[in-house]
Chains A and B, each alone.
Chain A
């Protein structure tokens, strides 16, 4: 129980609420405010992109103009003014840095504050990091070591130059441009993100990681991540996010595409801690993310693990398309909402191949005046004989001002498929609370402890470093929710 006592200590230590809410004062290069074809051309030019990519972006932009806002989620979203943001923001600083020493020390300081092991500590942690600051990748560590085994891990803008064929082949292959309005906007204006290619039979020697931070006011972040795991390869990828406190709503519309070939395995973990807005619900990040994995080859495996504690609004459904026979999809999620946060999150498991398996464990915790919804779909197509699904959704309500909802869609078109779904909603057990308090924990600590126990099934699927951070986050996010 080291981790749980750690949580309590952490909760005690943190008297403020949002600890990643500082800004870093760095000269930024901003694109003019607004969104039009010229802005997209500017982004493309800044990134020194080939013509095909510019055309691809413009096509997405033109389609985006015709698309309606998705309105089916159980969210109250104030109308978004897409013209009131800068779609490109980069730290103003010479040309691309060649090594970490050339990176603006202020930036490094920022990441230091966030606790990402960017420098020497990286060796101890064994994590290779691609850090994205507003619109551009600032540093990618461990590049050389990864290249030894043939792993390509670089900003996507660099990948466009280095391995255009791969990017061209896979970009938009899992999440089509016209998938939804937010993904379409991302396709038009995405500025950076990570690109990972694991060659056949390679087990990526370390955890890959990206850290996202929105720093500049009136900017959005539109990163695009593309991970391709070739035959028999394995990669574990971590993603973390923070943003400074501001009284405006900033937009984060990311797209993540995963492709797993035969026998490949991708493990994708997210700890999302965007700024959730203040106690009156002012400000905060709109987190509209489209994440989808394609289990292309037989026996491939994709696993999503997410801890969602931040953002004013979360609209996110990491999904798996189980195309290869015997492929497996997993989704483990903890969503914590407090204050005026709203979260509508879940997954889609589309079973196409024979003997495909999926497993969904979703834990939802609502406190304060927040609303959180699990929305998930399991779809068995006629050819998916022998498909299996297990879904479990548990919600925990803290206080009587919040809401917790479960909206599963279960569609089976094959008689040999077996689907199980169960969901429960409850509050924190009085007996457990009493027991903890009787042992000397105060109410807040006791709640954090119980909630961490409630999420345990999911948290244990996170890589070690993230699991500790996630436990702390869950505790911190619930501060002020009791009493």
Chain B
């Protein structure tokens, strides 16, 4: 068992963030693990469609705390009376320090590297070795929290390693909105790690917009543990990054738990975008839902790998997964791997996957009604993304749909 700090408890006396170069043992252990195994390569099954060679070659240095050149109030906040945090290159620059890892004393971990299990936990180790700060949201009352991660570009590539820990106490309702946005032209890559714990009957809505710079590598690993009767619903909109990959590992640990991932990947130019999901049904009577929509233009490459793993004990599981892709360009490519691994017999699991161009028939219909082709295509794509964000609060839904509309406007159609 590695003793990397993957799960924290604030009550310990051992602090690590006061001195990021403290040479703490877990940091050097993570670094040693990273050195031994390197950055994941397409030789690993879970990485067969995404190649980090460019990221590795960039030789980024750990990011330093930057100077802010704008007023955080001007950032695209979505909810008026939410609690707000701004991190720049992984460091807190705006908001309540008590809501961050840096504001707490942290203990030595109790859990092994969660990504160890898949033999490709290098990014988690990379985050552990270089993490600076990040949100620590240990919630005991209902709350809406907005976090904006700003990537401030640099001449020499830097690497931001924000670590997020979210713990929702039993029975609470919480909404957490995360945005990753770019500032400045230079390069700062991001390798985020998130640990989420949803206690019994709690309800967490997690929204993530990744709208980073088109020259950057944006990586994230999210590990969620969901208890009895609790729900964790993740909605995402991925637009930015030259190369981006988000990994989810959701564990449904007790009966009645529910997990959902819904989101869109909008990919254009020479972008490469990867969403990899693993949902583990480790208890009976749990449900999960994955709905992914991809729109690919230009020379873009899209990847979706989704897996539902049903343990022997997880009878009465209901697992669903759907991935639809529209290809707007002949040079784009889409790779999907929807996987089912099932060991219980009384389950209902299904997945569906489609890849294709926009349908000619409705396009023709709209044009025959006098709608110009570009407008007609736009309407169809808007409808295609359509209902993904319907279940969210109006102001969040509107903000997401507006961002989709902007993307469609910018010469995509």
Contacts and interface: CB of A to CB of B under 8 A. Distances in A.
Nearest to A424: B350
A427 B347 contact: yes
A409 B337 contact: yes
A399 B345 contact: yes
B307 to A, nearest CB: 9
Interface of A: 72, 382, 395, 397-427
A413 B213 CA distance: 25
Contacts of A421: 336, 338, 351-354
Contact of A417 (B328, B341, B356): B356
Contact of A422 (B315, B327, B328, B350): B350
20 contacts: A72-B45, A382-B331, A395-B340, A405-B339, A405-B342, A407-B339, A408-B336, A410-B334, A410-B337, A410-B338, A410-B353, A411-B334, A411-B335, A414-B327, A417-B355, A417-B356, A421-B336, A421-B352, A422-B350, A424-B349
Contact of A416 (B45, B330, B338, B347): B330
Given A408-B338, A408-B339, A422 B345 contact: no
B348 interface: yes
Nearest to B307: A407
A427 B357 contact: no
A459 B335 CA distance: 31
Contacts of A412: 325, 327, 333-335, 355
Contact of B345 (A400, A410, A414, A420): A400
Given A382-B330, A397-B345, A398-B345, A422 B45 contact: no
Given A397-B344, A410-B335, A425-B349, 14 more contacts: A72-B45, A397-B345, A398-B345, A400-B343, A407-B339, A408-B337, A409-B337, A412-B355, A414-B330, A415-B328, A415-B330, A423-B338, A423-B352, A425-B342
Contacts of A413: 332-333
A456 B357 CA distance: 33
Interface string B337-377: 11111111111111111111100000000000000000000
Chain B contact residues (Cβ within 8 angstroms of A): what range? 35 or more
B402 interface: no
Given A411-B333, A427-B345, A418 B350 contact: no
Nearest to A385: B330
Contacts of B344: 397, 400
Contact of A403 (B45, B337, B343, B356): B343
Contacts of B354: 418-421
A410 B343 CA distance: 24
B293 to A, nearest CB: 15
Nearest to B329: A415
A421 B334 CA distance: 14
A154 B333 CA distance: 45
Given A397-B345, A412-B334, A420 B339 contact: no
A418 to B, nearest CB: 4
A422 B335 CA distance: 16
Contacts of A420: 352-354
Contacts of A416: 330, 357
Contacts of B349: 424-426
Contact of B339 (A406, A415, A418): A406
Given A400-B312, A403-B342, A405-B339, A426 B330 contact: no
Contacts of A410: 334-338, 353, 355
Contacts of B336: 408-411, 421
Interface SS, B side? strand
Interface of B: 45, 312, 315, 325, 327-357
A409 B337 CA distance: 5
A404 B315 contact: no
Nearest to A371: B343
Contacts of B355: 410, 412, 417-419
A461 B160 CA distance: 57
A439 B379 CA distance: 55
Contacts of A403: 341-343
Contacts of B327: 412, 414-415
A405 B341 contact: yes
A398 B349 CA distance: 15
Nearest to B325: A412
A398 B342 CA distance: 12
A397 B310 CA distance: 12
Contacts of A408: 336-339, 353
A377 to B, nearest CB: 9
A207 B330 CA distance: 43
Contacts of B343: 400, 402-403
B351 A422 contact: yes
A302 B284 CA distance: 43
Contacts of B339: 405-408
A400 B345 CA distance: 5
A72 B339 CA distance: 15
Contacts of A419: 353-356
B389 to A, nearest CB: 25
B154 to A, nearest CB: 35
A403 B348 CA distance: 14
B336 to A, nearest CB: 4
A122 to B, nearest CB: 43
Nearest to A374: B340
Contacts of A401: 312
Nearest to A409: B337
A401 B353 CA distance: 29
B348 to A, nearest CB: 6
Contacts of B341: 403, 405
Contacts of A399: 345
A180 B336 CA distance: 24
Contacts of A426: 347-349
Contact of B337 (A395, A397, A405, A407): A407
Contacts of A397: 342, 344-345, 347
Contacts of B330: 382, 414-416
B413 to A, nearest CB: 14
Return the 10 tightest CB-CB contacts between A and B, nearest first.
Answer: A415-B327, A397-B345, A418-B356, A421-B353, A413-B333, A406-B340, A419-B355, A424-B350, A425-B349, A410-B336
Nearest to A74: B341
A257 B140 CA distance: 65
B49 to A, nearest CB: 8
B335 A409 contact: yes
Identify the interface centre among B315, B329, B334: most chain A CB within 10 Å of its CB: B334
Contacts of A423: 338, 340, 350-352
A359 to B, nearest CB: 15
A407 B340 CA distance: 7
A422 B353 contact: yes
Nearest to B348: A426
B48 to A, nearest CB: 8
A405 B343 CA distance: 8
